[in-house]
């Protein structure tokens, strides 16, 4: 019905019957559909705010089936929902998890500790931190866990699973298993849920019931214990599947056919083609950025200071660019052949779809990144056309952080990404995965689509400081979630191949 008419009559009918605001009540613990409907009808209230006011005024306790206790539980649920940040950016979650893992490793009996859940799968945001510990003495870890500083409350404490909420609303779930079960436990806790469902289906086809503890034979009750993930996949006749792929997006079929991609690794990345220096809004000089990059294994960098119209960043005039070119020649002599510094620019795609510099000038640079920073809220058609204009400019080599999103802060532009990628496939421009954890833009889904269309991917830190250079792993993880191999990413190409590619694009 939906496909042929674009509507669902029954759904429309329900929408008329039930106020949509009520749906927002459902995440409150202890408030199911029945109770929500009862409160709505009894008090004639439909919004979250009205519910909170009613609970505070003591109007819920006298309703059928309720009491002072359930009223207090609803108030507490509302408070905890508002304390909770919706999802946590990976860049904030990961260092916290790492610090906790280091603490767990010091506890007596602990053999191993690692991230689980979406954290281990390196999603760009995570709902909570899942951490998995292998220990001969689970009690000791659990006891230490629930006594960590800055805990707001303990949500649950059991022999294998406990969870807590910190004062700032961050939630952590800890799973503890004996080392001989760590393989099944790790797969269970890593997820995704959808991936695990597929694995359990495959196990059942072999008369095995897969849990976090073991495979149990459903006929004779015998058990298979797996200390490693490899053993678990092996029982199912599969090669080990990297966590970043475990989203039930075709990885099981690929694994069965032995067609899993050989995923890109951090050590494959030898070039960083977007970074900023004191010539615009960066913190370090070009020489310092080059040395810091070389120290991290880079062989090529592009200094992409902002272009003239991005005034707040001290965008460069063409005159200033001439001086910058001279300076780059000078520092290149100092650096020798340890690292090659390209004279580049992050050129603004202006609101009217033109670029900040004339074509003749763009042609004189070693590399051109074109990006959106302003007028992101233009209508879909207009903002899409802006990006496509930049893609069609033969002097543009890379489209930087294509949507302009800032995770949990601002939505990206409303791009018709399929149209953008189709245009990129025609011109051969590279699309960036910006590695900064606030961006991760392209995201995993779009980057995977780009690969399917044969579009080269650029993987850049967009560093404005030395610390920013260390954000590369987040970009690598996004590339891995997009199924990318090192050949798909221009930053992994040998220097000669990269320079040849730039030359072909008129540089």
Task: Give the binding range for ligand DGT (CB under 6 A) out of 41-49, 115-123, 392-400, 419-427.
Answer: 115-123
Nearest-approach distance from CB 232 to ligand DGT, in angstroms? 13
The two three-digit tokens of residue 342, written as one number = 């390209």
- The answer to the question of residue 189 lying near ligand DGT (CB under 6 A) is yes
H helix or E strand, kind and range, residue 38: helix 33-43
Q: How far apart are CA 473 and CA 461, in angstroms?
A: 9
Q: Quote the DSSP letter at residue 381.
A: H
Quick check: 115 and 131 in contact, CB under 8 A? yes
The residue among 243 and 404 lying less far from ligand DGT, judged by its C-beta, is 243
- The answer to the question of residue 130 lying near Ca ion (CB under 5 A) is yes
Which member of 89, 91, 115, 117 binds ligand DGT (CB under 6 A)? Answer: 117
H helix or E strand, kind and range, residue 464: none
Question: Other C-beta atoms within 10 Å of 441: how many?
Answer: 26
- The answer to the question of residue 117 lying near Ca ion (CB under 5 A) is yes
- The answer to the question of residue 90 lying near ligand DGT (CB under 6 A) is no
Instruction: Give the closest residue to 493 by CA, choosing from 462, 461, 459.
Output: 459
Instruction: Give the closest residue to 298 by CA, choosing from 275, 326, 278.
Output: 275
Nearest-approach distance from CB 295 to Zn ion, in angstroms? 24
Nearest to Ca ion by Cβ — which residue? 117
Quick check: 209 and 215 in contact, CB under 8 A? yes
> 389 is in the binding site of which of Ca ion, ligand DGT, Zn ion, none (Cβ under 5 to 8 A by kind)?
none
> 303 is in the binding site of which of Ca ion, ligand DGT, Zn ion, none (Cβ under 5 to 8 A by kind)?
none
Site string for ligand DGT, 192-221 (x = CB under 6 A): xx--x-------------------------
What does the CA dihedral 427, 430, 433, 438 come to, rounded to 10 degrees?
-80
> 196 is in the binding site of which of Ca ion, Zn ion, ligand DGT, none (Cβ under 5 to 8 A by kind)?
ligand DGT
The residue among 192 and 265 lying less far from ligand DGT, judged by its C-beta, is 192
- The answer to the question of residue 315 lying near ligand DGT (CB under 6 A) is no
Count CA within 13 A, CB hemisphere, residue 209.
Answer: 8
Nearest-approach distance from CB 130 to ligand DGT, in angstroms? 5
Q: How far apart are CA 389 and CA 384, in angstroms?
A: 9
Nearest-approach distance from CB 145 to ligand DGT, in angstroms? 16
What secondary structure does DSSP assign to 246-304, as a single string? TTTSSHHHHHHTT----B--GGG--EEEEE--TTTT-SS-HHHHHHHHHHTT-SEEEE-
Task: Give the binding range for ligand DGT (CB under 6 A) out of 101-109, 161-169, 189-197, 248-256.
Answer: 189-197
Q: How far apart are CA 54 and CA 39, in angstroms?
A: 10
> 371 is in the binding site of which of ligand DGT, Ca ion, Zn ion, none (Cβ under 5 to 8 A by kind)?
Zn ion
The residue among 124 and 128 lying less far from Ca ion, judged by its C-beta, is 128
Quick check: 478 and 486 in contact, CB under 8 A? no
Task: Give the binding range for Zn ion (CB under 5 A) out of 171-179, 370-378, 468-476, 477-485.
Answer: 370-378
Q: How far apart are CA 431 and CA 391, in angstroms?
A: 9
- The answer to the question of residue 371 lying near Zn ion (CB under 5 A) is yes
The two three-digit tokens of residue 203, written as one number = 């196990």
Quick check: 447 and 413 in contact, CB under 8 A? no
- The answer to the question of residue 29 lying near ligand DGT (CB under 6 A) is no
Q: Which of residues 118-147 bind ligand DGT (CB under 6 A)?
A: 118, 123, 126-128, 130
Task: Give the binding range for ligand DGT (CB under 6 A) out of 44-52, 184-192, 314-322, 453-461.
Answer: 184-192
Range list of H helices, 300-394? 318-335, 359-364, 380-392
In the complex, the residues that contact Ca ion under the rule CB under 5 A are 117-118, 127-128, 130
In the complex, the residues that contact ligand DGT under the rule CB under 6 A are 117-118, 123, 126-128, 130, 188-193, 196
In the complex, the residues that contact Zn ion under the rule CB under 5 A are 371
């Amino acid at each position: 019905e939906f496909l042929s008419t674009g509507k669902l009559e029954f759904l429309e009918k329900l929408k008329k019957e039930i106020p949509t605001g009520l749906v927002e009540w459902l995440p409150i613990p202890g408030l199911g559909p029945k109770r929500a409907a009862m409160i709505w009808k009894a008090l004639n209230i439909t919004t979250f705010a009205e519910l909170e006011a009613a609970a505070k005024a003591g109007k819920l306790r006298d309703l059928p089936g309720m009491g002072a206790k359930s009223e207090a539980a609803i108030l507490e649920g509302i408070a905890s929902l508002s304390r909770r940040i919706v999802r946590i950016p990976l860049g904030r979650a990961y260092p916290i998890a790492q610090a906790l893992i280091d603490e767990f490793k010091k506890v007596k009996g602990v053999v191993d500790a690692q991230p689980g859940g979406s954290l281990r799968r390196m999603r760009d945001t995570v709902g909570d931190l899942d951490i998995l510990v292998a220990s001969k003495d689970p009690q000791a870890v659990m006891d230490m866990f629930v006594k960590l500083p800055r805990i707001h409350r303990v949500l649950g404490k059991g022999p294998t699973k406990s969870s807590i909420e910190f004062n700032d609303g961050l939630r952590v779930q800890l799973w503890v298993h004996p080392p001989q079960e760590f393989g099944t436990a790790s797969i269970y806790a890593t997820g995704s849920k959808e991936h695990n469902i597929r694995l359990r289906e495959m196990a059942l086809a072999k008369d095995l019931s897969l849990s976090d503890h073991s495979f149990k034979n459903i006929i004779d009750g015998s058990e298979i214990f797996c200390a490693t993930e490899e053993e678990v996949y092996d029982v199912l006749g599969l090669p080990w599947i990297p966590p970043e792929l475990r989203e039930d997006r075709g990885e099981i079929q690929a694994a069965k056919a032995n067609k899993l991609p050989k995923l890109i690794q951090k050590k494959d990345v030898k070039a960083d083609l977007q970074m900023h220096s004191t010539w615009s809004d960066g913190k370090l000089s070009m020489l310092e950025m080059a040395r810091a990059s070389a120290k991290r294994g880079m062989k090529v960098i592009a200094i992409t200071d902002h272009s003239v119209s991005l005034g707040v960043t001290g965008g460069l005039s063409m005159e200033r660019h001439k001086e910058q070119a001279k300076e780059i020649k000078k520092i290149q002599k100092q650096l020798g052949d340890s690292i090659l510094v390209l004279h580049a620019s992050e050129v603004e795609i202006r609101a009217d779809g033109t670029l900040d510099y004339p074509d003749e000038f763009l042609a004189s640079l070693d590399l051109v990144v074109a990006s959106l920073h302003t007028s992101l809220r233009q209508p879909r058609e207009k903002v899409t056309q802006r990006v496509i204009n930049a893609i069609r400019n033969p002097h543009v080599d890379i489209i930087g952080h294509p949507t302009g999103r800032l995770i949990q802060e601002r939505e990206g532009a409303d791009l018709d990404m399929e149209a953008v990628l189709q245009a990129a496939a025609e011109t051969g421009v590279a699309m960036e995965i910006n590695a900064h954890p606030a961006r991760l833009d392209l995201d995993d889904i779009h980057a995977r689509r780009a690969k399917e269309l044969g579009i080269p991917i650029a993987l850049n830190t967009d560093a404005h400081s030395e610390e920013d250079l260390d954000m590369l792993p987040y970009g690598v993880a996004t590339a891995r979630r997009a199924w990318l191999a090192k050949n798909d990413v221009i930053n992994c190409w040998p220097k000669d191949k990269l320079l040849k590619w730039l030359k072909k694009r008129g540089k």
